[in-house]
Amino acid sequence: MRLLKKFVPGRVRNKLRSLRDGLAPRIPVTVPYEIRVADGCVLQNQVAIVTGGSGSIGRSIACCLAAEGAIVYVCGMSPDKINSVVTEIVGLGGKAYPQRLDVTDEADIVRTFAEVTARHGRLDIMVHSAGGSARDEYSSLIGQKTEVIDQVLNVNLRGAILCCREAAKAMVPSKTGRIINISSVLGVQGKANFAEYAASKGGVIAFTKSIAMELGPFGITANCVSPGIVQRGEISASELEQLSKTNWLSGYGKPEDIGEMVAYLASPRANFITGQNFIVDGGRSLGLKGD
């Protein structure tokens, strides 16, 4: 329960509890947004795959989808971590299954998507949240190691392409589906000494726009969500002060900010949205403040 409190807002926890207890969601009727989502679980029994589901953002995405009634396959490299996410979701009444997945292994991707699709007869939602920056290895372009470049591109871009390909195979026959890729604001802006990471995330945005055109005739939407700085642990007072100087919405993003955006794009409320990149960064990418 402690992990869920850390990463998931009270609204989502309450909705998961209501699924467990068979009760109407405990939601204040005075808040318009809460009333809107209280109408029901808009993703009831839809099948979702979330790669990178054991990370802070992936965990929040999985929980937010489960809170809307989806059957979520939490994918990741660490069995302990993905089992932890699944245990939290199931304990609160959601539906989730652990699935070990290496997004750099094509055979593993093909097998995972085929097994999930065969088990349920369909795949409704695919969120590619797996990613990495090899942050400890970053240096100038001139000093960067080839193996680090390969690692970043394999996870962030090649992995996204392969997962989207397998998702499309499952979704095209049913002529419906949601593909949501997690990119980064650096994929739009770039950043010195993060060139290959920015290139991989910019590639994800361009790729997503392209497949939105290709898959649109089959009723499949494809969109990106690009986070700015998101809290992944404790944050110091000095870091918070620095963020308040650069973000128009003072402070930092939280994993649930991304999870809620993804849940919206997966829902019927986003039926007519495709090929878009949604930046969730507190206005940081607008520039000017602190420049």
DSSP code per residue over 76-96: ES-HHHHHHHHHHHHHTT-EE
Q: Is the pLDDT of residue 49 over 90?
A: yes
Alpha-carbon distance values, 113 to 73, 84, 185, 215, 220 (Å): 10, 22, 28, 18, 17
Q: Which residue has the higher pLDDT, 37 or 136?
A: 136
Q: Which long-range CB contacts under 8 A does 133-142 form with residues at least 24 apart?
A: 133/194, 133/197, 134/197, 138/193, 138/194, 138/197, 139/193, 140/193, 141/195
pLDDT of 138:
58
Helix orientation angle between 10-21 and 56-67, rounded to the nearest 10 degrees = 50
The catalytic residues are 197
Q: What confidence category does residue 79 fall into, taking pLDDT thresholds of 50, 70 and 90?
A: very high
Q: Is the pLDDT of residue 246 over 80?
A: no
Quote the CA–CA distance of 189 and 204 in Å, as a whole number: 14
Helix (H), strand (E) at residue 13: helix 10-21
**Residue pLDDT, tens place only, 114-146:** 999 999 999 999 999 998 776 555 568 888 889
What tokens appear for 54 in the block?
A: 């054991």
- The mean of the pLDDT values for the chain is 84
Beta bridge partners of 101: none
pTM above 0.75, yes or no: yes
Q: Which domains does the chain have, with CATH numbers?
A: 2-286 (3.40.50.720)
